[in-house]
Amino acid sequence: MHNITVAIRVKPVQQSFKTIIVNGSTVTLLDPELEFNNPVDILKKNRIKDASYEFDLVFDQQADQKEVYEKSAEPLLDDLISGQNVTIFAYGATGSGKTHTMMGSQNQQGIIPRALNDLFGRLSKEQAAQASLTFLEIYNETIRDLLTGKLLDLREDGNKGLVVVNLFKAPVPSLNDINQYIKYGNSRRAKEPTGANENSTRSHTVLQLMLKQCTFTFVDLAGSERASQTTNKGQRMVEGAMINRSLLVLGNCIKALFSKEQFVPFRGSKLTRLLKDALQGNSKTVMIANVAPNNYEDSFNTLLYAHRTRNIDPTPNNFQEMIVQLREENEDIKRTLKKQNSQSKLQLQIEQQFKEQQRQEKMEKQQQQQQIQQIQQQQIQQQQAEKQAYDEEQIKSIILKQFAQESELIKQLFKLEDALMQTHLDIVEYQKQQSVQFQQKTEDLITKCTDSINNTENEQFEIAMKYKTILQQRRKIYDQCMQSQFQSVKDEFRKQVQNIEKMKGVQSEKREEVMKKFKELEIEHLKKISNQKNGNQPQIDEETLKEIKKNRLQSLNKQIKDGKL
């Protein structure tokens, strides 16, 4: 697609001139001099002739400002918002209506105010807040900032390309701000009256609105001048010469681009250096060539340059399409990187999940091992507890068996002791009831009791020997209990000992009662014997009494010696 659109606008004039005929998109220029007999005009005879050119847009004398804007500039706003650079510049001779086309008047606004008004109507608040504006002029090949008045210079930047050093960028978040800056800048623009135009602009102006990703550029060129027509002198003639020089370089650049020459002299002037991107197709560009029907030669030159500009082939240097292509490739790379990042994130997530799974499995394995160890420890503890309980019960069983045997022997001893004491009591009782009439019978009973005592004592001795053996076993059991870790075993041993001691205590009390009773009977018997000696009652012979007493004492001493009494 061709990035340069060329439009022709025919200036309305009051007199009727038929040098320019518009037919659709074709403009025909007629030579007004039909006769060449005049010697003054003989030089034009072989140079000037009728010519027809075809352009993208043609506006005749009846076209108003609105129509020019809507057909030439308004379609570029969509491209601008989408991120493409847009350039609009007016070209033509002095007095052909360039400034009127670009700026217009208060009642007939030109392209610049209309375009900016529509643009800010489409921008969002965020986009408008990022907008900034620069306004400069090129006067006598000197760049001046129209907003600050400072003189500036051009410089090539490795990253940004061609830049105007220290050019003031005014923030313009609203359309009102833009209008104030434009009005202020226009008031400082170099203007002087000439023979061709009473309000002739003596400089080229470049107004740029910079958005986030693109730039909207408006260029109002100073008109080419012919000294014979303007009658300029002095400073005005110098200004005209500098204007013509920069426009001549612009024409040469257009001619070189049209002819596809390898070298294009953009560095011939500061104007062409600034318009380089616009002419090479690196932005969407509209060139509005202004012609006046009353000036044939200037119109011929303007149409010739416009025709060449329209036929410039931007393909070899179509950097704008390259930029678009690079942007598309950049987006593809971003999508690829995003996809790769997504895959990397997914892969990282999978690796993390796998590691987490391994960690959980390791933890579960450790937990299982710990549970197995706990179960094994519990089993060992249970076995130990069971063994300890078994050992404890075994020892307790031995203790109980020991003390059961001991208790049984003690009971037997106590039983024999009771029988022995009862026999002694019976003897004393028999002695107390003894009389002469029953002496023989009493002696028989005593003899019988004495025999019983002897038998009991023999039996008691055998049991005592067994008890002695049992006591030796108890000592061994005691040592075993003291070395045991079971407190219950020790407590059980002490308990059984206390029971035995309790049994002995009860038997001791019983023995004391019997001995007390035995002593009472003994005393009573002795008293009775004493009474018999003093009285008339029959008495037992003294030898019998001594024998009885001797036997009784021997029996009692033996029991005491054996620990039975």
SS (H, E, C) 423-486: HHHHHHHHHHCCCCCCHHHHHHHHHHHHHHHHHHHHHHHHHHHHHHHHHHHHHHHHHHHHHCCC
Instruction: Consult the annotation and say whether 93 binds a ligand.
Output: yes
Which DSSP category does 292 fall into?
-
Do residues 117 and 104 make contact, with C-beta atoms less than 8 angstroms apart?
Answer: no
Do residues 116 and 223 make contact, with C-beta atoms less than 8 angstroms apart?
Answer: no
Sort residue 343 into left (φ over 0), alpha (ψ -120 to 50) or beta.
alpha
Instruction: Consult the annotation and say whether 256 binds a ligand.
Output: no
Tally Cβ neighbours within 10 Å of residue 58. Answer: 22
Instruction: Consult the annotation and say whether 508 binds a ligand.
Output: no
Instruction: Consult the annotation and say whether 149 binds a ligand.
Output: no
Residue 209's beta-bridge partner residues?
A: 133, 216
What contacts 100, CB < 8 A, 6 or more positions away? 108, 110
The enclosing H or E element of 143 equals: strand 142-145
3-state DSSP assignment of residue 145: strand
Do residues 158 and 167 make contact, with C-beta atoms less than 8 angstroms apart?
Answer: no
The closest alpha carbon to 236, from 219, 223, 250, belongs to 223
Rounded Cα gap, residues 241 and 224, in angstroms: 9
Show the CA angle centred on residue 13, arms to residues 8 and 18, nearest 5°: 75
Instruction: Consult the annotation and say whether 96 binds a ligand.
Output: yes
Both tokens of residue 43? 């030089």
The closest alpha carbon to 195, from 244, 221, 232, belongs to 232
What is the DSSP pairing of strand 284-291 with strand 86-92? parallel
SS3 content of the chain, % helix, strand, coil (to 5): 60, 15, 25
Instruction: Consult the annotation and say whether 234 binds a ligand.
Output: no
DSSP code string of 539-555: ---HHHHHHHHHHHHHH
Exposure letters 296-319 (e unless 16+ CB within 10 A, then b): bebbbbbbbbbbbbbbbebeebbe
Rounded Cα gap, residues 99 and 51, in angstroms: 27
The annotated binding site for ATP is made up of 92-99
The annotated binding site is made up of 92-99
